[in-house]
Structure 1
Amino acid sequence: MSGGISHRKDVEYLEGCNPPLVERNADEFKRLHDMLVAVDPSAERAEKHTQWKSEGSRHYEARLTEARKLLTQLAEGYHKAAGALSDYAFRPGGRQGALLQRQGERAVPRQPDPHQGHGDHP
């Protein structure tokens, strides 16, 4: 996939996947997102409240800023991936719903998590 746009061929392999495993992957991506978000307050404290001046402090501060941005981007990526897999698994009339019906199972939409934000925010 490139540029945030998925093409049919990029996700064809999901048709052969076990539907409960697609959901399990969505749950695992959500867990990783939550772990990364939980680390952010500590990363912010290290970035903004470390008082240290020396020859290497600018490099240290730049690395902390870079690491925090990476944490944020990884959390956003896992959040989007979890949502995409979850939507795929539980979209009414979606491909995964048809797979569940063929296998004699029933896709039941999840209740929204009141602790999870909406939109693209982690």
Structure 2
Amino acid sequence: RIMSANGSNGQNGSNGDGGGRKRRNRKRRNRSTAKATAEFWGDPKTLPEPRDDIRITQDPSAVVRSLGRPPLPGQEQASEAYFAAVYARAVGLASALAAAGDLIEPEELLEG
């Protein structure tokens, strides 16, 4: 190895240990983060029972449309179309998650 003028071994001023110390610290940090996450969410046994009256909407943007046109001068038509596409995608993903979690029957996804 060739030492630089500032006394370091590597080009970036490292001591050549490959960052092993950083790696160890990260593992320690992840362990404490996992514990903090578990404490944040609490005891899963205290969660309420899932509802059984979940329905998939046929008109995902109805509530938002009831608020009026988007306040985007000159872009109302385009923005409504994009928003409708986003709402439809959100309903599709939520429906798939509900089916995956056994909250609805998968056949309900085919209706409509």
| TM-score normalised by L of structure 1 | 0.35
* Structure with bigger gyration radius: 2
Per residue, is there more helix in 1 or in 2?
Answer: 1
- Of structures 1 and 2, the one with the larger relative CO (CA 8 A, separation 6+) is 1
| TM-score normalised by L of structure 2 | 0.37
